[in-house]
Chains A and B, each alone.
Chain A
Amino acid sequence: MTRPLHRRDLLRYGTAATFLFPVLRSRWALAATELPRYVQVYIPNGCRPSQFYPDRGRDDGDFDLSGTILEPLNPLRSKTTLFRNVFTDGNIHGMVPRIFTNGTNQNGRSDGPSLDWMVADQLASRGLGTPFRALHIGVDTPYPASGRQVTPVRNASGQPQPLETDPQRVFDRLFSDLTGSVDARCSDEARRGRAAERSVLDAHRSEISSARAQLGLDPAELRVLDEYESGVRELEMRLAPEPNCEQDGGAPPEIEALGAAVRGAPKAEHGRLMADLIAWAFRLDLTRVASLNFFSEGGDTDGGKRRNIDIASWFRYRDGDYHPQGETVDTFHHHLSHFGDDSREGRWHVAVNRWAVGAVAHLAAHLEAVSIGAGSLLDASTILYMSSGGDGDRHQGSHSPAVLIGGAHGTIPMGVYRDPGSRVYHGSVLRSVADSFELPGNDFGSNPDRRPIQRLW
C-alpha cells in the first residue's frame, strides 16, 4: 500500500521519478507519482456541432481541429480522441445531474455519485488518499453553484456538491501553508478568519445533533438532518489547513507567482488559473481528481430572480475570440446556444466555448510539460470533456461531444476522430473511463446500451 507523500517531501525532493507504466500491472500498485489522474470537464448547453467537429479526418487518423471550437487542442491532437455522435438522452437541460453519474432521475436529483466522486472513492478505498480528496472547480458558474443546473458533481447520495469558484480560495486551500511569509499567513486577521469559519461550522454541527435528539424524528426525516450534517462535515474538510507559523513556505517560485496571479484576477483569467491550480495540485500529489465546470446549464432565473449569469459581465469578443478590448457579450451562455451560426450571438457562442476549451488545453499542455520517466503527467492522466447535448438550440441529444485527452492508461486509442455511424450513448463513454480506473460495475444513465466504447475498435 502506498503512503501518500507529504507536500513538503515533494517540494524538497522534487517530483522526478523513474516512471514505468506497465500495461499489465494493476495501476493501483504504482508509486504515488505514477498513479493516474482524472479530470472531468463540463461545458453546458450543447456544443454547436457545425462549429465543433472537423469536417475531415474521420476514422483515418488525419484530423485537424483548426477553425473549430476545439482548435486550442490542436497541438495535442495526438493525445486527443474525439467521438462525433455520442447521444445524451432526455431533455438536455436536465442532463446536469446525470451527465457524469450512474443516475437516471431528472428534476435536480440523481441516483448516485458522479464519476469523479467514484474515482476519488476508489483511491481512498485502496489507501491511496491524498491531502485533498478532489477539487471541484467552477469557472464563471453563478453563486456557490448550489443549483441543479450548475454542478454535475454528485456525492454518493446523488446530492449536488458546491464548486469552488474563486481561484484565490482554491490557492489558499491548497498552498497557503507553503507560500508567502509567516507574517501574512499567521496575522491576527488571518487567525481570526480561520477561527470564525471553524467556530461557525462547529456550532452548526452541534445544533443539528441537538435537534435530532430533541425532535425524535421519523427515519425519513432523520435522513434530512443526516444529510445536513454531512454537508457541514464536507465543508469542514474543505477548510484551509492551519498554516505553518514557524518558517516560510519554501514553495517553488512558480507557485508563488501563481499566488500573486490569483489575487483579484479578472474573470477572463479564471479558466487558465484554475487549470494551473489543478495541474500543480496533480504535480504535488495533493489530489488526483478534479472536475472543471464552466458556466450554467439552461434556465436563466431562479426563484423569479435573474441569476448573476455567466459571461455577460466580462466576456469581450473580437475576430472570433476573446479580446480584452472587444465588444461586450451582453447575454447568457444558454441564450447564445439558441442562435444560428451566422448570427452575432452564434459567433459569440463559438468564441466563448473556444475560450473554455482553451483553459482545458492549457491544463493539458501544463501536464504534458511535466516529465515522469519516459512519459508525461498528461500520459498518466485522463481528461474527459462532455456536454449536455449537440445542438443546444433544438435541444438535441445527438452529436453530443465526448473528448478524451491524455493517456487513458492505454485502454483507449488516442489521436483518433471517430464517428461510430450509429448511436453511442454517453453512458458507454463513462463506462470505458470507469473501466480504465477499475471501478466496480455501475450502470450509467438510462442508456439502453452500456457497452464500453472499445467495441468500436
Chain B
Amino acid sequence: MSQRLKRGCFRDRFALVVLGVCGCVGPLTEPEVPGPPPPPSAEARASLVFPGEDASLAPRRLWRLTSSQLEAQVEAALGTIINWGDARLFDAVDEAYANHQSGMSMPGANVHALLEMGDRVAEALAEDEACAGFGCDEAGLEVLLHRLHRGRAPDATIERGRALLQRLEAAGFPAPEAFGRAAGWSLGAVGVLFRTEVGAAPAERVVLTPLEQASGLAYLLWGEGPPEDLIRAAQNGALDSPEEVEAKAREMARDPRFARHLGRFLAQWLGYEHLDGATKSSELFPFFDDDHRRRLQVEIDAFVARVLEGDGSLVTLLSTQEGFQTSELPETYAGDEVEGGRTLTRAGLVLLPGVLAARSGSQTTKSMTRAARILERLFCIHLPEPDNVDLSVLPDPDEANSERERFEVLAETPSCSGCHRLLNPVAFAFERYDPAGRYRKTTEGEAIDPSGELGLGVEPVGSFSDAVEFMTAAASSVDVQACFVRQAFGFSFGLHPGPEHDPWMREAFSAFEDAGYALEELFVAFARSNFFRFRGRLEGDR
C-alpha cells in the first residue's frame, strides 16, 4: 500500500468507515433496536473524528518564514513596497500548504534566492538618501534589525550588521547603497528568516514568552509579523495569561488582516491560488484572458467577504446559493439558472467558476484529478496516484461520449475499483461545470448525468442528484467539518496533523461546533489551546 494511502487510512478515522467500498457499517446502538439510530452526541461526534488521546506539543523552535511572509515582514519594517520581481524563496508545498515546516529549508538554491531578494532591497534603497527614514547609518541599521526581528535583535547580529556596513563603506559604496546592501543582508539573519521559540525557563512543557506568543498570534491570525503595538503590549504584560491571549486573539480576528489571511488559507485549501496561472485553450475558451481571470478572482474575494460579514460559517461558505456575480460575469453564467438572488445551479465556494477553473485543464476538466482533490481537501481522503497500472482498459477520450462512459468501467476493474468507486460519483457530479467553470447540461451533444452516491464517513453525503445537492450535504457533514479543522490546524501550525494532535483538534472542533462553525472561532480556539502556548521540551534546552 502506498505511503499516502497508508497515511490517509491511518489518520483519517472516518475513512475507515468506508460504506461504499467495504460494505455496510452497523448501527451504533444494539442491533436489536429497531429504527434508525439516534444521532451521536456532540462529544461523541468529536471523538469519532478525532479519537487519539495522547496529546503531544510542537517539537520545534525554528519556524522558517514563507517567502510571502518574509516579503511582508521586510516591507512592514521598511515601510515601503519592494519590487521583488522573480526573487523568491522556494516554499515546499506539502499536501496543499506552502508552509509545512518539514520542507522549509535553506539549501543552496534558496540561499541564492535570498541573495536575490537582498539585492531587490538594496536596489530599492540605493536611490533613497534618507534610507527609508532610517538615516543610512549604524544606528538606523540597528533600528531596522530590531523591527525585522519582531521585537529585539540579538546583540551579536547588530554588531555583525554594523561591521558589514563599515566594510561596505570602506569599499567605497555611497551611504545609501551601503545601507541598502546591509539591509539586504539582514533578510538572512536567523532571527528574521526564522521565528525562534526558545520559551521561558525549561520544563517538561515550555511556555512561550509573551514576545513569542505575540509573534505566534500574528502569524496564526494574520500570517505576518507582529506590529509595533502588539510587541509593546506583550512587553507590557498584556499577554501574560491565557485569558489575555484569547482576548487579544479575538480582537485580532476582527481585524481585516484576519480576513486576508483566511483568504490565503482558503486559496491554498481549495487550490484556487493557481487561478492566476490557469490557462485555457484559446480556441475553446477565447474569453479566458487576464481580465477574465482577474474578474473571477474578484468574485471569489467578494464571495468570501460576504460570508464573513454574514454568519461567517463554514456551512454557509460551502453551501450558500447567494453571492454569485452572475451579472458581472455574463459569459460564465450564461447557462446557469437564477431565481431571485439565488443561483440554483451553484452552491458555495467550491462551485464558484474561478475555483473550478483554477485546477481544471486547458481543454478538459481533468475530472478525476478534480474529484481526487475534492475528496482530499473536503473529506481528507488521500487516494494514491495510479502506479504501474494497465491503462488499456480505459477507452480513449475520443471514443467515449462522456466522462461517465469513459470511467465507469474502472469502478468494476479489480485493480482500479477501490479508488474509482469513490472518485467516479464525485467526478461525474462536477462534470456539469466545464474547464472554465461554466455550467452545462451536455457535452459533445450528450446529456451529462451528475447523479451519484457517496456512502462513506460518519455522516455520509449519500445519494445526490447533482453537485449542488452534493455540496449542500457535504457542508453539513461532520466528516467535512472535521476535515476542515484538520486542514486549518495543519496550515496554522505548519505540520501534518497526526493522531498525536487529535486532542487539540478535538478541543478546537468542539468550540467550532458550539460556535455554529464560525470560521473566526476556529482560529481563536487554536490560539486558546495549550498547543499554541507551549512547546515540548527538547534536547538542547538550557
Contacts and interface: CB of A to CB of B under 8 A. Distances in A.
Interface string A133-173: 00000000011111110010001010111100000000000
B267 A304 contact: yes
A144 B109 contact: yes
A144 B113 contact: yes
Interface stretch (B92-100, B136-144, B226-234, B513-521): B92-100
A125 interface: no
Nearest to A396: B391
A315 to B, nearest CB: 15
B107 A160 contact: yes
Contact of A230 (B91, B108, B361): B108
A90 B539 contact: no
Interface stretch (B180-188, B240-248, B373-381): B180-188
Contact of A335 (B90, B92, B273, B362): B362
Given A196-B181, A208-B190, A231-B106, A303 B68 contact: yes
Contacts of B539: 218-219
B93 A108 contact: yes
Contact of B90 (A148, A304, A339, A345): A148
Interface string B57-70: 00111101011100
Nearest to B369: A395
A92 to B, nearest CB: 11
Interface residues of B, number: 78
Contacts of A206: 160
A192 interface: yes
B66 A338 contact: no
Contacts of A456: none
Interface in A278-325: 299-309
A322 B235 CA distance: 63
A224 B105 contact: yes
Contacts of B283: 343-344
B163 interface: yes
Q: Which of A203, A211, A343 is packed against the most chain B CB atoms within 10 Å?
A: A203
A235 B112 contact: yes
B414 to A, nearest CB: 20
A207 B188 contact: yes
A338 B190 CA distance: 42
Contact of B59 (A200, A203, A218): A218
Interface stretch (B29-37, B81-89, B214-222, B339-347): B81-89
B90 A146 contact: yes
A216 B61 CA distance: 10
Interface stretch (B274-282, B316-324, B466-474): B274-282
A151 B156 CA distance: 35
Contacts of A244: none
A247 interface: no
Given A148-B90, A159-B109, A303 B62 contact: no
A195 interface: yes
B103 A109 contact: yes
B387 interface: yes
Interface stretch (B164-172, B416-424, B475-483, B498-506): B164-172
A227 interface: yes
Interface string B181-217: 1001100111100101010000000000000000000
Given A218-B539, A303-B66, A151 B103 contact: no
B128 interface: no
Contact of A109 (B92, B113, B116, B157): B92
Contacts of B278: 300
Contact of B157 (A161, A210, A332, A338): A210
Q: Which of A191, A304, A344, A448 is packed against the most chain B CB atoms within 10 Å?
A: A304
Given A200-B184, A214-B154, A308-B86, A146 B281 contact: no
B79 interface: no
* Tier of interface size on chain A: 35 or more
A304 B276 contact: yes
A192 B169 CA distance: 10
B95 to A, nearest CB: 8
A232 B115 CA distance: 10
A304 B109 contact: no
Contacts of B62: 215, 217, 221, 224-225
A50 interface: no
A306 B277 contact: yes
Given A230-B108, A231-B111, A331-B279, A160 B90 contact: yes
Given A108-B103, A162-B112, A207-B160, A146 B273 contact: no
A144 B90 CA distance: 10
Contacts of A89: 387-388
B533 to A, nearest CB: 20
Given A108-B103, A227-B105, A304-B276, A146 B113 contact: yes
Contacts of B277: 299-301, 306-307, 309, 332
B106 A146 contact: no
Given A159-B107, A208-B190, A231-B107, A144 B112 contact: yes
B540 interface: yes
B191 A211 contact: yes
B541 interface: yes
Contacts of A188: 172
A34 B300 CA distance: 62
Contacts of A161: 107-109
Given A108-B93, A216-B541, A335 B279 contact: yes
Given A89-B387, A301-B277, A303-B98, A146 B110 contact: yes
Given A195-B171, A200-B184, A303 B115 contact: no
A270 to B, nearest CB: 16
Contacts of B111: 162, 204, 228, 231-232, 234-235
Contacts of B273: 301, 303-304
A107 interface: yes
Nearest to A154: B107
Contacts of B267: 304
B538 interface: yes
Contacts of B274: 299-301, 304
A231 B172 CA distance: 28
B118 interface: yes
Contacts of B385: 90-91
A66 interface: no
B441 interface: no
A411 interface: no
Contacts of B106: 224, 227-228, 231
A215 B115 contact: no
Nearest to B67: A303
A199 interface: yes
A148 B443 CA distance: 36
B490 to A, nearest CB: 14
B134 interface: no
Nearest to A423: B388
B363 interface: yes
Interface of B: 59-62, 64, 66-68, 85-94, 98, 103, 105-113, 115-116, 118, 154, 156-157, 160-161, 163-164, 167-168, 171-173, 181, 184-185, 188-191, 194, 196, 198, 264, 267-268, 273-279, 281-283, 361-363, 385, 387-388, 538-542
The 8 A-B pairs with the shortest beta carbon distances in the complex, nearest first, are A300-B277, A159-B107, A301-B277, A143-B86, A211-B190, A231-B111, A228-B106, A162-B112
24 contacts: A148-B92, A159-B108, A188-B172, A195-B167, A196-B171, A199-B168, A200-B184, A201-B115, A207-B189, A211-B154, A211-B190, A214-B156, A221-B61, A224-B64, A231-B111, A300-B277, A304-B273, A306-B277, A307-B277, A309-B277, A332-B279, A339-B362, A339-B363, A344-B283
Given A144-B87, A219-B539, 13 more contacts: A89-B388, A108-B93, A196-B181, A199-B164, A210-B156, A215-B62, A217-B62, A218-B538, A228-B190, A234-B111, A304-B264, A304-B267, A339-B362
